[in-house]
């Protein structure tokens, strides 16, 4: 079974949560590097040819929302 949108978003949410925690607790956690994120994005692309790499990376980096739109204001 291939991965779908929900799987990609769940992975992105976990990465975002990890990175936020790492910024608060840098001695216990580390953020994902650009290289690591690119490796994961390449894996996701192999799982589903419709995977939207730029949108996924943008969501992880806080540049866009889950569906590619503007980031919701808090």
Per-domain residue ranges for the chain? 5-60
Hey, what are 32's tokens?
């994902």
Residue 74's pLDDT band, with cuts at 50, 70 and 90, is: low
pTM across the whole model: 0.89
Q: How many CB atoms lie within 10 A of CB 34?
A: 10
Would you put residue 8 in left (φ > 0), alpha (ψ -120 to 50) or beta? alpha
Does 69 have pLDDT greater than 90? Answer: no
- Residues 2-58 have pLDDT tens digits of 899 999 999 999 999 999 999 999 999 999 999 999 999 999 999 999 999 999 999
């Amino acid at each position: 079974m291939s991965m779908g949108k929900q799987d990609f978003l769940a992975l992105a949410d976990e990465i975002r949560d990890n990175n936020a925690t790492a910024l608060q607790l840098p001695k216990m956690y580390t953020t994902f590097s650009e290289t690591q994120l690119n490796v994961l994005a390449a894996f996701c692309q192999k799982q589903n040819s419709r995977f939207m790499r730029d949108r996924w990376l943008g969501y992880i980096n806080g540049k866009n929302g889950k569906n590619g739109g503007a980031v919701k204001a808090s």
